């Protein structure tokens, strides 16, 4: 059984968000990709959704729009509705990171994967090289394959202190046809939050090789104590001149299905270069609900997010403690951000992939490591943004499966 002392600690620390946590029957009653991806009886710990109700402030603005049947072409305060998102983003960046964002340099989009594709198309040609951290969020690799770009992998390497990267190893692989550097910070799936020194090395490398840096910062609101998020564009005017920042309230406020994100261009000249290749009509328009939910989240949802972050921190430390005690064969670094744990199961000596083992033997649906890196079959990614009872069941099933394997 899971240690009762650990359970009591989790229960105490999680009490603040008890009204937001969804039970497994409630989760199964919703039309969730995460919870209906696998057959009945499988516990979902994969897709990056949290098993929580949204912030009351977000739910309230959505409900208001439904009651008013407000499905028309939108304006907000006499302006295009997407400008409300740009203004909310600018205010949040100023308050949270002392970053002066010009809302005029913000493009609101429905999807950050769409923004990634558009950036690749805008600043490179088929056959050009793109530096990408690996393991990586799977749609990044897909975007390079679909658009015919050449992947230049920057390996996230295990050390005793955490995952790190070595840019010197790329010096002989980058040439005049290398155009982009896709940075994910906080990094998915390793959970690293890069330091100023690390980011400055990226900026110097990008300047040396004249690269555009596409910085996906979607998890920047989910930083755990001890780490500090630094937007890439704030490093220096030189870094900003080549920085395209992707962000959204979707991960931190659990509203991915409402389809609202944004692209920030570090300079007006960079934005003009983008639109010279990608007409604004191609990036589409965001719907009313996504706009209002995003503005409400960033403007009024901080109390909810604070409670969620306390819960996530407790769940993170709880999972880490149980795995270290009960399944020491699984190696991991405690993530500095996100609600995702990147697990190295190599020492279990499995015949197949780690995700397949846990799906078949434990009836748990983790994200498969090989979707993040073709050579990562021994890895799996756990989503721990759930309730204590569900997390306890996940851990119990893992322990039972590994004990059977040992025998």
Q: Which domain holds residue 313?
A: 4-54+302-406
The answer to whether the CB of 288 falls within 8 A of the CB of 336 is no
Calpha distance 218→261 (Å, rounded) = 9
The answer to whether the CB of 58 falls within 8 A of the CB of 301 is yes
306 and 295 housed in the same domain: no
Q: Which tokens in the block code for residue 283?
A: 């990036």
309 and 287 housed in the same domain: no
CATH of the domain at 401: 3.90.1150.10
Gyration radius of the chain's alpha carbons: 21
Q: How many residues does the chain have?
A: 407
**What's the pLDDT at 50?**
97
Calpha distance 14→91 (Å, rounded) = 29
The answer to whether the CB of 190 falls within 8 A of the CB of 342 is yes
152 and 253 housed in the same domain: yes
Q: Which tokens in the block code for residue 389?
A: 């009872």
307 and 296 housed in the same domain: no
Residues of the chain above pLDDT 70, percent: 96
Q: Is the dihedral of CA 372, 373, 374, 380 positive or negative?
A: negative
pLDDT tens digit string along 237-293? 999 999 999 999 999 999 999 999 999 999 999 999 999 999 999 998 899 999 999
The answer to whether the CB of 366 falls within 8 A of the CB of 354 is yes
265, 300, 335 - which closes a domain: 300
300, 324, 339 - which closes a domain: 300
42 and 115 housed in the same domain: no
The answer to whether the CB of 109 falls within 8 A of the CB of 265 is no
314 and 376 housed in the same domain: yes
pLDDT tens digit string along 2-51? 544 333 334 444 446 778 999 999 999 999 999 999 999 999 999 999 99
Mean pLDDT throughout 123-149? 98
Q: Which tokens in the block code for residue 90?
A: 């600018």
- Round the average pLDDT of the chain to a whole number and report it: 94
Q: Which tokens in the block code for residue 5?
A: 């002392």
Calpha distance 183→192 (Å, rounded) = 12
272 and 156 housed in the same domain: yes
Q: Which of 101, 73, 65 is nearest to 86 (CA)?
A: 101
Q: Which of 108, 159, 165 is nearest to 135 (CA)?
A: 165
Q: Are strands 106-109 and 261-265 parallel, antiparallel or unpaired?
A: antiparallel
Element (H, E) at 273: helix 268-277
107 and 236 housed in the same domain: yes
**Number of structural domains found in the chain:** 2
266 and 160 housed in the same domain: yes
> At a CB cut-off of 8 Å and minimum separation 6, what does 177 contact?
127, 128, 129, 150
Name the residue with tokens 């790190």.
164
pLDDT tens digit string along 238-250? 999 999 999 999 9
The answer to whether the CB of 132 falls within 8 A of the CB of 151 is yes
248, 282, 300 - which closes a domain: 300
Q: What is the pTM assigned to this prediction?
A: 0.94
287 and 335 housed in the same domain: no
CATH of the domain at 210: 3.40.640.10
């Amino acid at each position: 059984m899971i240690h009762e002392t650990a359970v009591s600690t989790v229960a105490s620390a999680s009490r603040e968000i008890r009204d937001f946590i969804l039970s497994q029957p409630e989760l199964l009653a919703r039309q969730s990709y995460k919870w209906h991806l696998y057959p009945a009886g499988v516990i979902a710990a994969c897709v990056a959704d949290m098993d929580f109700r949204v912030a009351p402030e977000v739910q309230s603005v959505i409900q208001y729009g439904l009651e008013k049947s407000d499905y028309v072409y939108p304006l907000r305060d006499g302006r295009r509705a997407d400008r409300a998102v740009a203004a909310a983003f600018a205010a949040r960046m100023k308050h949270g990171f002392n970053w002066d964002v010009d809302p005029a340099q913000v493009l609101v989009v429905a999807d950050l994967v769409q923004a990634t594709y558009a950036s690749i198309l805008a600043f490179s040609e088929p056959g050009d090289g793109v530096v990408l951290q690996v393991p990586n969020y799977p749609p990044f690799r897909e975007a390079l394959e679909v658009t015919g770009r050449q992947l230049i992998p920057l390996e996230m390497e295990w050390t005793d202190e955490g995952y790190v990267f070595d840019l010197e190893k790329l010096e002989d692989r980058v040439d005049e046809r290398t155009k982009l550097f896709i940075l994910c910070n906080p990094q998915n799936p390793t959970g690293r939050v890069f330091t100023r020194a690390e980011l400055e090395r990226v900026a110097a490398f990008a300047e040396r090789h004249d690269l555009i840096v596409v910085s996906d910062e979607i998890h920047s609101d989910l930083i755990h104590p001890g780490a500090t998020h630094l937007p890439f564009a704030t490093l220096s005017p030189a870094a900003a001149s080549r920085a395209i920042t992707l962000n959204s309230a979707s991960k931190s406020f659990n509203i991915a299905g409402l389809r609202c994100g944004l692209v920030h261009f570090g300079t007006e000249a960079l934005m003009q270069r983008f639109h010279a290749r990608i007409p604004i009509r191609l990036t589409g328009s965001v719907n009313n609900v996504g706009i209002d939910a995003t503005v409400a989240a960033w403007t009024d949802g901080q109390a909810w997010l604070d409670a969620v972050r306390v819960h996530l921190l407790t769940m993170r430390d709880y999972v880490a403690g149980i795995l270290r005690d009960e399944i020491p064969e699984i190696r991991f670094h405690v993530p500095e951000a996100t609600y995702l744990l990147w697990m190295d199961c190599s020492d279990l000596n499995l015949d197949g992939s780690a995700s397949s083992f846990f799906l078949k033997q434990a009836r748990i649906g983790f994200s498969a490591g090989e979707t993040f890196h073709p050579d990562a079959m021994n890895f799996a990614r756990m989503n721990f943004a759930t309730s204590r009872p569900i997390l306890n069941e996940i851990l119990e099933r893992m322990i039972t499966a590994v004990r059977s394997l040992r025998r």
